[in-house]
């Protein structure tokens, strides 16, 4: 009868840190693959949409596409680095808190890396093709901050600076959350010791 009652072993395995570390690391690696494939699809869609356009549009899109590939590389590389970091976490008093701490940092790093590069790419594209740049920006990103940026040199500059400021702010917020999680764990540990 005991061999049919397997939930005790499952629950014991889940409650160990190794299970969560492996699961999150695998998830991040799969996410890196999905982002790579999605990025390539978006890259191809943009190329398909500029056939027959003028030289100025094509030149702007070429620069945009090169920076877009660079942004995808940065995101995928950050995911793989943090997946390895999570896999290498040691066992401790808490199972999920160290993983959450690294995961929060990763969220900020991914947004900041992608946001900073795409803001630069979008600003340059605005300089080349004006307001039509937002058509291409929407194809590869969920950015909304630049819709009031305008379609001239200052519009492109405000798109770049605005994107960099938002990326930096998001990075700081997620690093704060990462440290807050660790601080809460330290407070709980110290409170337990004090009793």
Is the pLDDT reported for residue 79 higher than 90?
yes
Sign of the alpha-carbon torsion through 43, 46, 52, 56: negative
Is the pLDDT reported for residue 63 higher than 90?
yes
Could you tell me the residue range of the domain that residue 49 belongs to? Answer: 18-194
Which has the closest alpha carbon to 119: 169, 73, 64, 49? 64
Which has the closest alpha carbon to 139: 39, 54, 72? 39
Place of tokens 């869609």: 45
pLDDT at position 145 is 55
**For residue 4, is it within any domain?**
no
Mean pLDDT score, 26-41: 95
**For residue 67, is it within any domain?**
yes
**For residue 122, is it within any domain?**
yes
Mean pLDDT score, 7-16: 77
State the CB neighbour count (10 A cutoff) for residue 36: 15
**For residue 9, is it within any domain?**
no
- Mean per-residue pLDDT of the chain: 87
Q: DSSP for 117-141?
A: HHHHHHHHHHHHHGGGHHHHHHHH-
Contact 86, 99 (CB under 8 A): yes
**For residue 10, is it within any domain?**
no
Residue 148 — very low, low, confident or very high, per pLDDT cuts 50/70/90?
low
Place of tokens 């003028």: 54
**For residue 5, is it within any domain?**
no
**For residue 63, is it within any domain?**
yes
The number of domains in the chain is 1
Stated pTM of the model: 0.84
Percent of the chain with pLDDT over 70: 91
Sign of the alpha-carbon torsion through 85, 88, 94, 95: positive
pLDDT at position 12 is 76
pLDDT at position 146 is 52
Is the pLDDT reported for residue 144 higher than 60?
no
Is the pLDDT reported for residue 1 higher than 80?
no
Is pLDDT larger for residue 93 or for residue 58?
A: 58
**For residue 179, is it within any domain?**
yes
Mean pLDDT score, 81-98: 89
């Amino acid at each position: 009868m005991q061999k049919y009652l397997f939930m005790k072993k499952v629950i014991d395995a889940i409650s160990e840190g190794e299970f969560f570390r492996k699961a999150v690391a695998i998830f991040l690696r799969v996410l890196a693959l999905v982002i790579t494939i999605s990025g390539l699809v978006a890259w191809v869609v943009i190329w398909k949409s500029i056939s027959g356009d003028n030289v100025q549009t094509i030149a702007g899109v070429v620069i945009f596409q090169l920076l877009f590939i660079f942004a995808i590389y940065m995101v995928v590389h950050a995911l793989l680095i943090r997946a390895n970091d999570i896999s290498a976490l040691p066992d401790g008093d808490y199972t999920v808190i160290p993983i959450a701490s690294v995961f929060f940092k990763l969220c900020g790093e991914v947004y900041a890396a992608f946001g900073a590069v795409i803001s630069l790419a979008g600003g340059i594209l605005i300089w080349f093709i004006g307001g039509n740049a937002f058509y291409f920006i929407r194809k590869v990103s969920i950015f909304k901050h630049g819709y009031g940026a305008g379609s001239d040199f200052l519009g492109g500059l405000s798109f770049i600076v605005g994107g960099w400021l938002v990326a930096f702010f998001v990075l700081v917020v997620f690093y704060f959350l990462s440290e807050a999680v660790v601080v809460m764990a330290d407070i709980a540990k110290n409170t337990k010791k004090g009793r």
